[in-house]
Amino acid sequence: MTTSPMRAPRRRHRSVRQNVTLAAVAAVTLSTGAPAAPAAPQYDDRLRIRLQRDADALTAVGATGVQARVVTSDGRNLTAVGGVADLTGRQPVPRNGYFRIASITKTFVATVTLQLAGENRLSLDDPVDRWLPGVVSGNGNDGRAITVRQLLRHTSGIHDDYPDYTSAEDFRQHRSDAYTPEQIVARAMAHGPDFDPDTGWNYSNTGYVLLGMIIERVTGRPWHEEVGDRIVRPLGLDHTFHPGTSPTLPRPHAETYQRFAAGEPLVDVTEQVGSGTNGEAGLVSTTADLDRFFGALLGGRLLAPAQLAEMTRTVEVGEKFERFMPGARAGLGIFSRRLSCGGEYWGHEGGDAGWISTAGVTADGRRSVTVSLSGVQAATDGDVLRVAEAENRLVDDALCTSPKAAGPQRR
């Protein structure tokens, strides 16, 4: 979601459903990441077919490239890729390519914050002003009245105001610009709040910039170093890292594209720094690493029961958000969604400069799916909705299909 998964296209990493043209793309492949157990081939075949069909549907509604990975409850990896990794050489999409995960970073930041709460180093009910005195102030903003919990749940009312590229030329001139968390917060403080704390819900990237600053104030270390020591290294997420101000991605990766105005050519926007590097976004990862992270999180390996219960206590989300994510409810750095076969799953979305990604995991942490789209364009609300619906269908199908059924058991 860029950083906001479902905002109207305004800036490249805030809106999850934006950027590049519908592209008719071919060369779709499918493979398994591990040998199937003897009893599972028929089940694997059904899931492969369904996963491939859903990946193809995403290329049809506007992604130049798709990679999707399902981890089954017994640990098998099934992957589907579609489209092309680049529009020039038209190479196939790598099955485990790197991508900027954008707002999925928020779940990592929330996990560290809850770990610190479990260690009694901060409280979720601490006012922001306790850790960042005077930072949230002016124009009706009051850090004394906003809590850590409200930042995590997007109920603080803090407004977002991010820099954006206005044209292809603007992108070329400023793609290496970096912004400090203080600069991003100052832009937000130039506006009044969207609402009083806990009286509404609105996705706020600035709230997670503040959480990154709080983590650093509590620990004395940058938020991404705490993520590295507390999550990345213990779980062996060898392909997850914070690139800092480097504009490049490691190989393999797909290229991503953006059209800045109707009728203009697509621009390769893969290499850029971007403003979303301060806790609201900023990590690079792979589908395999994200599946492992979400499985460990909901499986109870990263948070004590009390903190996991706090994370998964939800509230209703805003109407605009609900339109693209039906049934979504907001926890602390994570969202719950209904499954068509019954129950719910947990996850997060991200979007950044043509990238759209989403990760979902069943409530017991045993089954997960991650999908990354590159080169996505959604020029209208209708385009946005079609991409969202196709992505939602892939996740639901992946988490609902079971060995006992040829397909999801719809209610």
pLDDT tens per residue, the chain (411 residues)?
A: 444 443 333 333 333 333 332 222 222 333 334 444 444 567 678 888 999 999 999 999 989 999 999 999 989 999 999 999 999 999 999 999 999 999 999 999 999 999 999 999 999 999 999 999 999 999 999 999 999 999 999 999 999 998 888 889 999 999 999 999 999 999 999 999 999 999 999 999 999 999 999 999 999 999 999 999 999 999 999 999 999 999 999 999 999 998 888 888 889 999 998 778 999 999 999 999 999 999 999 999 999 999 999 999 999 998 888 888 888 999 999 999 999 999 999 999 998 878 899 999 999 999 999 999 999 887 778 888 899 999 999 999 999 966 444 333 333
Beta strands at 315-316 and 284-285: parallel, antiparallel or unpaired: unpaired
Q: What is the predicted pLDDT for the residue at 353?
A: 77
Q: What is the predicted pLDDT for the residue at 40?
A: 57
Q: What is the predicted pLDDT for the residue at 26?
A: 27
Q: Which of 107, 48, 104 is nearest to 76 (CA)?
A: 48
Rounded to whole angstroms, the Cα distance separating 258 from 66 reads: 16
Q: What is the predicted pLDDT for the residue at 67?
A: 97
Q: What is the predicted pLDDT for the residue at 352?
A: 81
Q: What is the predicted pLDDT for the residue at 392?
A: 94
Evaluate whether 394 touches 68 at the Cβ level (below 8 Å).
Answer: yes
Q: Which of 261, 239, 266, 234 is nearest to 250 (CA)?
A: 239
Rounded to whole angstroms, the Cα distance separating 269 from 81 reads: 21
In single-letter form, the type of residue at position 278 comes to: N
The H or E element that residue 81 is part of is strand 77-83
- The highest-level CATH class for domain 29-67+76-400 is alpha beta
Distances (CA, A) of 143 to 123, 129, 138, 184, 185: 15, 5, 10, 16, 12
Q: Domain extents for the chain?
A: 29-67+76-400
Task: State whether residue 257 is helix, strand or coil.
Answer: strand
